[in-house]
Amino acid sequence: MVELHQVAKTYPGTPVVQALKPVNLRIEAGDHVAIVGPSGSGKSTLLNLLGLLDRPSEGHYLLAGRDVSALSERDRTAIRGRRIGFVFQQFHLLSHRTAAENVALALLYTGIPARHRIAAAHQALERVGLSHRLHALPTTLSGGERQRVAIARALVGAPDIVLCDEPTGNLDSHNAHAVLDLLENLNSDGVTLIVITHDPGVAERAHRQLQILDGAVSPADVPEARPTAGTLA
């Protein structure tokens, strides 16, 4: 599903900042991979590259076998909309829109008619256990429910990959466990799950952990009994 070949990211300036050192990375379809690292380690840079929000300074990124490194911005946007879902620490929900409307907005530029967007949003919310909160405003939802709406929004376009950036960072322990259980269930249904985190408790629930430190990615020290998933090529 994901192949990085000597992908690196450098930001110009004085001095030049190499946010991500050349990395070779392979993640198979259906994997659940955690990428662990402290603040400033390069996690966000890697997430932006994987999510086609930024371009590598060097190297090649193959997504489902297609080199997406040098595509036009229009093509990258189209691929991102079809293949990638995002779940962030901040929920980024519109307070004046219902849960269903927030989810349906993810399909706004897909050409899908409005009635079908709403129907898809209802299905996505049912999938995350919120069929009873379709018409609730975010201000009336708990933190865990708001994150479930955000997950439904990530899923509504049936992406191949869901990228999660500190998905439990704003949740208490009870809601954090519930959200992680939900993400694992989605992964069991075939969604490729990549979680960026600094929390060892979140990372240990993945099939495999990778560590990023000072822009360098390496295998994390995980028990041998764990099934292998994302691998460094």
Residue 133: is its pLDDT beyond 90? Answer: yes
Q: What angle do CA 102, 1, 167 make, to 5 degrees?
A: 40
pLDDT in tens, 73-82: 888 888 888 8
Which residue, 144, 146, 153, is CA-closest to 179? 144
User: pLDDT category, 220, cuts 50, 70, 90?
Assistant: low
Q: Within a 10 A sphere around the Cβ of 190, how many other Cβ atoms?
A: 9
pLDDT in tens, 168-186: 888 888 888 888 888 888 8
In angstroms, how far apart are the furthest CA atoms of the chain? Answer: 54
Which residue, 119, 87, 96, is CA-closest to 193? 87
Residue 197: is its pLDDT beyond 80? Answer: yes
- What is the phi/psi pair of residue 125, to 5°? -70, -35
As a whole number, mean pLDDT of residues 116-122 equals 92
CB burial of 93-109 (b: ≥16 within 10 Å; e: otherwise) equals beeeebbbbbbbbbbee
pLDDT given for residue 135 in this prediction: 95
Domains and CATH numbers, the chain: 2-219 (3.40.50.300)
Residue 99: is its pLDDT beyond 90? Answer: yes
